[in-house]
Structure 1
Amino acid sequence: MKQRFLLLYLACLIGYYGTGQDVYELNSGWKCYQASELAATPEQLSQNSYAIDSWMPAVVPGTVLTTLLENKKIPDPFYGMNNNKIPDIYNVGKARYTYWFCKDFKEAIPSGDGQVWLNFRGINYSCEIYLNGKKVNKQTFKGMFLRQRYNITRLLNKSGNNRLAVIVYPPDAVGNPNGGQGGDGTIAKNVTHQYVAGWDWIQPVRDRNTGIWDKVTIEKTKAVIIVDPFVRTEVPGIRKPAGAQAPAFIHTSATLENASAATVSGILKYEINHQQVRQRVTLKPFEKKEMQLPVIEIKNPRLWWPNTYGPQNLYPAAFSFIKSNNEISDSRNVAVGIREVKNIWNNHTRSMEVRVNGQPVFIRGGNWIVSDELLRFSKERYDAEIRLHRDMGLNLIRVWGGALTERPEFYEACDRYGFLVMQDFWGSGDCNGRWMDPKKLEDQWTRRNYPDDHSLFIESAADMIRMIRNHPSLAIWCGGNEIVLAPDLFHALKDSLMPKLDGTRWFIDYSNSDSMSYNAIGNNGDGPYGIQTLPYFWNYRTWPFNSEIGSVGMGDFASLKRFIPENNLVIPSEKTGSETVNDSVWTYHKYIGYGKFIEAYGAPKNLEDFANKAQLVNYDQYRTLMEGFIGHQWDWYTGLIIWKTQNPWTALRGQMYDYYLDPNACLYGLHTANQPLHGMFSFGDSSIYIANNTWEKKDNLMLVVKAFSMEGKEHLITQVFCEAIPQNTKRILSVKAAIKAMGKNEGMFLTIQLLDMSKTIIDENTYWLPDQSGNYSGLNKMPAAPLNIQCKKAGAGKLEVQLQNPENAPLAFFNRLSVVDPKTGKRLLPSFYSDNYVTVLPGARKLIHIDYPKGPQAVAVSVAGWNVKEQLISIN
């Protein structure tokens, strides 16, 4: 067994590619054709003399469906029920989605010891590759999560005109999309993502994402290339973001590969912070050699910290191999975030605790699927989505196991915005046999050993570890979603690959494992996943490190109109205990119900009114969910991960923003709850708490608690100096009596403010509380608020909006700001708001900063609230 695994591991060492000294993408000019309709041989069609002008333009990186969509051969699967109009691969056969992809490019045969490499960062699922009439891969390549690197120097045409041809085959088992989680489960027989056969939040992807789905690059080096560079940072002791720092240490290694038939001598060099280390080496013809470099000490380092705790400092750094004639053979740039992540068992909570640079971090996370179910990834979209997560005040993103290993561009964005990442490997209890399931084709014993090719899984896992291990954001590895992988796969990961290839991060056997979180009081598992009463989040004790907990999350009317046909823009009529509603489109897009929570605001007049009231529920649900966990941090909990914060298509559940990157009120409920210093109201015991989500004690804070009537009449409940304990929550006083006295007839507003010694408000949190019957009857009687709005440009793509409410006015309640095109009235997306769904107290003002994308010369800002008529302010 040991010998067998050693052979597998050696196979895993095949090829890493990264950013070399001379690299470019083959990302345009591709053509494609359905393979079953071609009579030419691969050798023929991969030569320039074979005409492909009549072939269909192809999207690469992309999938067959993205190409068909781009060429208007299929309808938009995200709109209405169009996805049902696209033939499913299970019904029409794999040949329907098996295509040839061709690309003509110019690259001359290099002189001297120059080498040219062809790199694929992801093909789903198997392929044959030809270049200029010659086959490139000796054996059929297979595996969605395994990169490929080929030396094509000797295959290039003397003319410099080359043709690359790739035939891509769908997964071996495409699975029956029968409505189960992962359909009939057989999609998991492949080393691929499982959600493509359908889940309870997504419909099946008809081609199962067959295609050249990630980047294709041409890379030019000299004889020796740098493979698998690895940077490990060591930060001893307990640190804080501010002040002078004790030294940190950089450990580096890389594999060198000599691609030539001659012996090559030179120096492997690593540079960071104006310091460098060197190692002399001689490589025999075609030899590979792993090199360890001397440790570098960084004095007074600028450390990398998670979001809300400190800055995300990144050092530019580079590996290079310099031949004995002083010519650079290859170089690799690796941005370095100096930090150290550890985990310790918290005996009080009975769960794992994450520490960064020695400091405890209360995990406030979100579950992530993929950016786009059709794998249309871009650096810009990744940046926008991670920025929206930053605006939520979260500090961790978990990449769910039924999806994929996220791309380096995702990790680069997480590095910039300060996110710890928990990366699952590719398995889920639904497909991999944890539970009995009548929708699954095979029994649990069989499914327990998915995928069919364990060697391919291990090889792919090793390659993915190498691809992302240098990112400071990567903090936790997870074996799979809600199940331990098959024993040999689990032990290969835990006992062999992790120690050898990384060894710096916490490895969890599965996402809700007892090794992560053990609840001795009987509330087992993760969740809940649906809407809850607000006291629930304070009173009910879930798992102490809850990997999945969530609620509702539909967007507003503007969001719904983007993907729901006009005839289906109706109020969903829910059936108790069922996720089926009276409209097929709502059901198809996986609507999860709000129950009677919206009716507490009054029966909705139409869908727009329904969607606006849903935002009130959204805000309250996620603000209270987060505050309930923060209120019990280090006592009941060490962390939580929301299920889920985004959707890869136009779903109607579990999202803080829609597929089009338009935020809803869930996002800003979290934004409010996650402030570094925060005053909050417990719906559990009607008390006021102060949360300090920093590592510094805060003295001389003025806590102000006020009540407001629907007309805006203010009543001061308390004003008291207090202190905030680092990384903890402190109960201050009960306001139960005041609420009972003031709010029984119409409800009331409760505002909590924290002020510093200069009387500056550093946190403000306004709650709307129901009357004694549980309804928000007073909200429907509120007078209009005469909100004054002033807007001005604050730079390219930047606006400042000031909202001012006069003295003696009612509260200007729950105002949504949107940047729009004044000609069309449509929102400009993605736009980023320093706050939104804001309430302005009588006599107060709020300043909102907005970043918006390039678009028309003139823009406008729309502001509309519960008792504020929409205003549209044009800005030239």
Structure 2
Amino acid sequence: MSQWRELHEGWTLQVVGEADGVPREVADAVVPATVPGCVHTDLLAADLIPDPYLDRNEYDLAWIGRACWRYATSFDWTPDGSDRVDLVCDGLDTVATVELNGEVVATTQNMHRSYRFDVGGRLREGRNELVVTFASAQAYAERLRDELGDLPGPNSATPEPFNFIRKMACNFGWDWGPVLVTAGIWKSIGLHSWSGARLARVRPVVDVDLGEQRDVATAGRVRVLADVEYAGPALAGSDGDSGAAGGGVKAGLTLTASVAGSRAEVEVPAGATSAEVELSVDNPRLWWPHGHGEQPLYDLAVELSGGSEGTLDGWSRRVGFRQVQLDTEPDDAADPEAGSAFTLVVNGVPVFARGANWIPDDCFPSRVDAARYRARLQQAKDAHIDLLRVWGGGLYEQDTFYDAADELGILVWQDFLFACAAYPEESPIAEEVEAEARENVARLMPHPSLVLWNGNNENIWAWFDWGWQPKVGDRTWGAGYYLDLLPRVVGETDPSRPYWPGSPYSGSMDRHPNTDEHGCKHVWDVWNQVDYSVYRTYVPRFVAEFGWQGPPTWATLTRAVHDDPLAADSPGVLSHQKATDGNAKLARGLTPHFPEPADVEDWHWSTQLNQARALTVGIEHYRSHRGRCMGTVVWQINDCWPVTSWAAVDGDARPKPLWYALRKVYDPRLVTVQPRPEGLTVFLVNEGLTGGDNGARAGGVWRTDLAVERRTFTGEVLAHWSTSVSVDPAATASVRVPVDVATTTDPSREYVLVVAGDRRTTWFFAADKDLAYPAPEWDVEVTADGPATRVTVTARTLVRDLALFADRLDPAAGVDDMLVTLLPGESHTFRISGLTRPVDVAEVSGRPVLRCANDTVSPAK
């Protein structure tokens, strides 16, 4: 049986060679290194650099990415009788030279793949020295750019040539991320001793036959494809023929697999380097995205044995039985240009994707452990998000990310790692791209949450619209990856999942890639150029990116920035605003809706509220077109550091008001008022959820009484209308609001209130700045609730979008709700958790803790 020994202890780090800007105290230092880890975190732990995330420290630490770094450790080794010993490096970031006992084992240049080197002949009994030296990734990328010729892509927000190295692109800076070019042993490293043969790669292809019931399949199949590697010369049989590739194992290898009580085995022909075994499972329970059903997972075990040698190697993962397709059928078979679908279909059920984009959760990804992944994905699920798109400028995340998605029922759309740039298809990049793609497709395919492979982020769009074609000429730019190599790799390696060439992409290079009628679309003229009301002019088939900026929570902002005085445009705040003209765009987007903020606290509240409003407008509009539009993937769920950005959860893991807005607007049952050419219309959207995760749609019909009123801000009902509505599962119902209810006599003092059972929404006839809001008045009561604190607010006036900022009381505190609209006389109780001290009524009764939309226009008296 094989043995694994981690080599994570005893590492040291030091700078090697000459590099501009290296401080003397760093140049002379040999510091303890944490593996897995990176240079920045080791220097920070040694107190040799300030925190790169604070103030403007990022700029003072640029020298780290320009220097070369040496990791070294020593370990004792005693021969264990194995045929072979491999040094296994799961992640080297990025341009590395690996030496064992003074001999160069290998050089690498790809952060996104693992490496395995036979070092049995280099190990010596007793003490061994292992050294990994990392050259500057920036210098490597610049050198390769100069050799191959520059290509378009990097811009003022991301000036580095990240497209010439296989490394996390956003390490080189993005419009939400700092330039912190890392180096280090960022994943596990160790020695693998083994004899005879091993399982080099295992690929489970899972399929199901769907029955009439929705919680089980009539049959499930797991086809296990295994690649076998041998430790020495092959022994094919008694005639002495050595067969194909190396061996050291006598004829008679057996591949065995088991899952859900089913077991099968197959003999591996002598010297064969691959084998296949198929398992059948009767009536397996189906895996569903959350809300549509449960997430049963089954242990799949694979074993390679060698007769008298016994078990040689084993492999195990959890799999889920489910079926997934990407429906791209044309609306009209006779006229394919009329439009075509872009719909994820899970277990035969078309799913409206309530999604968000995912970026690396830290600039230093070794800091993101299983618990942090789980916490962030739980935040996504709690906001009713059922799809995360892993964006192409980041990482193939670690298995624990996908494990959490499997368990929580969150669909994963996985980009291949290409973003916003033209990529060369020449050596050595092309070989690295294929190697990383084949490895990561095989690594991730056991996960039932993974439902789509996507070729790139915005590169096909850029070819059409960003002026690339005259700059590229007849050179390569990545099309060969997206249209040939990657679909071939997916088809050969993971035939159970769909592949799509890019986001956005319309299904053909003969039509514009970013259209409403076909494929997936990105909407970025909103935010960059126009007001968010323009979301309502688009009806795309699937929106894979759209977003609006807002600052992080106050506690996060003030932990990271120490400007005195603090202002929206103070140096530290601006250094944590990476978007081109970001603050100007925030101001431009605020102007149609809110008065100019009087101070930094008003700026902070107004821009956060405006961010939440923008995404609410967009998502409600797109969901009202459910059926034609079948997905919204907001930019973005998370941040990698404290920054003003499009995220719903900031870099310190605190939910912004946007997160609470997403939780409301992604509710499985949505009530929204939409302006249509024929007049105000109420839409009720029903995702067909039953409240139980049994996978059944029966009982998912939404029947409700609907009441629509036009009211004054003081509570007078000016017009009333009611009806009953029934909304089928996975459907939308619309109700035209009668003219007398929908027509205002005073847009500054009236609004429409819509109540559908336990859900309600409002429609205001004018922007906040033009509304005659009453100065907000309320009564507040504070009571203890075990470890939590309950704050009950009773409104004496109309109060719109009431928010309680618990972090203003205590940076460790959080609150369960936000953006609550109260009518005069109504109450709402907020539950604060995490307080480290008691609070009283005076602390929570007004700004900066208790804010609402009213006080942006009419301050509280």
Q: Would you call these one fold, judging by a TM-score over 0.5? A: yes
Q: 2-side partners of 1:178 and 1:356: how far apart?
A: 36
Pairing 1:281–2:268 present: yes
Pairing 1:377–2:375 present: no
Pairing 1:836–2:830 present: no
* Aligned residue in 2 for 1:769: 764
**Does the C-alpha gap of structure 1 residues 555 and 714 become closer, same or farther in structure 2, counting only changes over 3 Å?**
farther
Candidates 417, 433, 437, aligned match of 1:426? 417
Q: Deviations over 1:434-493 (max 9, x none)?
A: xxxxxxxxxxxxx66477531222122212222212211222112222235535434552
Q: 2-side partners of 1:818 and 1:318: how far apart?
A: 49
Secondary structure of 1:644's partner? Answer: coil
Candidates 484, 503, 508, aligned match of 2:500? 508
**Does the C-alpha gap of structure 1 residues 780 and 530 become closer, same or farther in structure 2, counting only changes over 3 Å?**
farther
Query: Is residue 124–residue 170 contact of structure 1 (8 Å, CA) maintained in 2?
Result: no
* Aligned residue in 2 for 1:229: 202
Q: 2-side partners of 1:497 and 1:534: how far apart?
A: 40
What amino acid sits opposite 2:14 in the alignment? Answer: Y
Query: Is residue 315–residue 335 contact of structure 1 (8 Å, CA) maintained in 2?
Result: yes
Candidates 59, 65, 73, aligned match of 2:34? 59
* Aligned residue in 1 for 2:680: 686
**Does the C-alpha gap of structure 1 residues 675 and 22 become closer, same or farther in structure 2, counting only changes over 3 Å?**
farther
Pairing 1:733–2:718 present: no
* Aligned residue in 2 for 1:519: 515
What amino acid sits opposite 1:263 in the alignment? Answer: V
Q: Residue 657 of structure 1: CA displacement?
A: 1.4
Query: Is residue 62–residue 212 contact of structure 1 (8 Å, CA) maintained in 2?
Result: yes
**Does the C-alpha gap of structure 1 residues 459 and 338 become closer, same or farther in structure 2, counting only changes over 3 Å?**
same
Secondary structure of 1:382's partner? Answer: helix
What amino acid sits opposite 2:614 in the alignment? Answer: Q
Secondary structure of 1:647's partner? Answer: coil
Candidates 48, 55, 67, aligned match of 1:97? 67
Pairing 1:621–2:621 present: no
* Aligned residue in 2 for 1:560: 557
The alignment's TM-score, normalised by the length of structure 1, stands at 0.79
Query: Is residue 816–residue 863 contact of structure 1 (8 Å, CA) maintained in 2?
Result: no
* Match runs of 1:621-770 below 5 Å: 621-635=614-628, 637-684=629-676, 685-694=679-688, 695=697, 697-705=700-708, 709-711=712-714, 717-734=720-737, 737-738=740-741, 740-741=743-744, 744-748=747-751, 750-755=752-757, 761=758, 764-767=759-762, 769=764
Q: 1-side partners of 2:306 and 2:518: how far apart?
A: 64
Q: 2-side partners of 1:497 and 1:418: how far apart?
A: 26
Q: Residue 817 of structure 1: CA displacement?
A: 5.0
* Match runs of 1:48-197 below 5 Å: 55-88=30-63, 96-105=66-75, 108-111=78-81, 113=82, 116-137=85-106, 140-153=107-120, 155-159=122-126, 161-171=127-137, 172-174=140-142, 180=155, 183-184=158-159, 186-197=161-172
**Does the C-alpha gap of structure 1 residues 708 and 809 become closer, same or farther in structure 2, counting only changes over 3 Å?**
farther
Q: 2-side partners of 1:714 and 1:107: how far apart?
A: 84
* Aligned residue in 1 for 2:295: 312
* Aligned residue in 1 for 2:256: 269
Q: Residue 659 of structure 1: CA displacement?
A: 0.7
Query: Is residue 197–residue 312 contact of structure 2 (8 Å, CA) maintained in 1?
Result: yes
**Does the C-alpha gap of structure 1 residues 116 and 816 become closer, same or farther in structure 2, counting only changes over 3 Å?**
farther
Pairing 1:460–2:450 present: no
Q: Residue 655 of structure 1: CA displacement?
A: 0.8
Q: Which runs of 5+ in 2 are unaligned?
A: 20-26, 146-151, 234-247, 332-338, 461-476, 689-696, 851-861
Candidates 219, 222, 231, aligned match of 1:259? 231
Q: Residue 330 of structure 1: CA displacement?
A: 2.1
Q: Residue 180 of structure 1: CA displacement?
A: 1.4
The alignment's TM-score, normalised by the length of structure 2, stands at 0.80
Secondary structure of 1:623's partner? Answer: helix
Identity of aligned residues (%): 20
Query: Is residue 571–residue 610 contact of structure 1 (8 Å, CA) maintained in 2?
Result: yes
Q: 2-side partners of 1:317 and 1:851: how far apart?
A: 40
Q: 1-side partners of 2:792 and 2:159: how far apart?
A: 57
Query: Is residue 561–residue 573 contact of structure 2 (8 Å, CA) maintained in 1?
Result: no
Matched length = 776
Query: Is residue 602–residue 777 contact of structure 1 (8 Å, CA) maintained in 2?
Result: no
**Does the C-alpha gap of structure 1 residues 521 and 338 become closer, same or farther in structure 2, counting only changes over 3 Å?**
closer
Q: Residue 723 of structure 1: CA displacement?
A: 0.7
Once structures 1 and 2 are overlaid, which stretch shifts more, 706-715 or 622-631? 706-715
Pairing 1:36–2:21 present: no
* Aligned residue in 2 for 1:497: 489
Pairing 1:345–2:296 present: no
Q: Residue 317 of structure 1: CA displacement?
A: 2.2
Pairing 1:294–2:278 present: yes
Secondary structure of 2:92's partner? Answer: coil
* Aligned residue in 2 for 1:362: 352
Query: Is residue 239–residue 359 contact of structure 1 (8 Å, CA) maintained in 2?
Result: no
Q: 1-side partners of 2:400 and 2:791: how far apart?
A: 37
Query: Is residue 770–residue 776 contact of structure 1 (8 Å, CA) maintained in 2?
Result: no
Q: Which runs of 5+ in 1 are unaligned?
A: 1-19, 39-51, 433-446, 574-580, 756-760, 794-798, 872-876
**Does the C-alpha gap of structure 1 residues 314 and 718 become closer, same or farther in structure 2, counting only changes over 3 Å?**
farther
* Aligned residue in 1 for 2:567: 570
Q: Residue 515 of structure 1: CA displacement?
A: 0.8
Q: Residue 616 of structure 1: CA displacement?
A: 2.4
**Does the C-alpha gap of structure 1 residues 868 and 195 become closer, same or farther in structure 2, counting only changes over 3 Å?**
closer
* Aligned residue in 1 for 2:586: 593
* Aligned residue in 1 for 2:775: 781
**Does the C-alpha gap of structure 1 residues 226 and 583 become closer, same or farther in structure 2, counting only changes over 3 Å?**
closer
Q: Residue 724 of structure 1: CA displacement?
A: 0.8
Q: 2-side partners of 1:861 and 1:674: how far apart?
A: 34
Secondary structure of 2:433's partner? Answer: helix
* Match runs of 1:415-494 below 5 Å: 415-428=406-419, 430-432=420-422, 449=425, 453-484=429-460, 486-490=478-482, 492-494=484-486
* Aligned residue in 1 for 2:334: none
Q: 2-side partners of 1:847 and 1:232: how far apart?
A: 49
Pairing 1:528–2:514 present: no
Q: 1-side partners of 2:142 and 2:375: how far apart?
A: 32
Q: 1-side partners of 2:70 and 2:732: how far apart?
A: 60
Query: Is residue 226–residue 274 contact of structure 2 (8 Å, CA) maintained in 1?
Result: yes
* Aligned residue in 2 for 1:3: none
What amino acid sits opposite 2:134 in the alignment? Answer: V
Query: Is residue 776–residue 799 contact of structure 2 (8 Å, CA) maintained in 1?
Result: no
Q: Residue 706 of structure 1: CA displacement?
A: 5.2
Secondary structure of 2:492's partner? Answer: helix
What amino acid sits opposite 1:103 in the alignment? Answer: T
Q: Residue 390 of structure 1: CA displacement?
A: 1.7
Q: 2-side partners of 1:302 and 1:105: how far apart?
A: 48
Q: 2-side partners of 1:338 and 1:328: how far apart?
A: 28
**Does the C-alpha gap of structure 1 residues 610 and 210 become closer, same or farther in structure 2, counting only changes over 3 Å?**
same
**Does the C-alpha gap of structure 1 residues 452 and 326 become closer, same or farther in structure 2, counting only changes over 3 Å?**
closer
Once structures 1 and 2 are overlaid, which stretch shifts more, 172-181 or 263-272? 172-181
**Does the C-alpha gap of structure 1 residues 158 and 37 become closer, same or farther in structure 2, counting only changes over 3 Å?**
farther
What amino acid sits opposite 2:619 in the alignment? Answer: M
* Aligned residue in 1 for 2:241: none
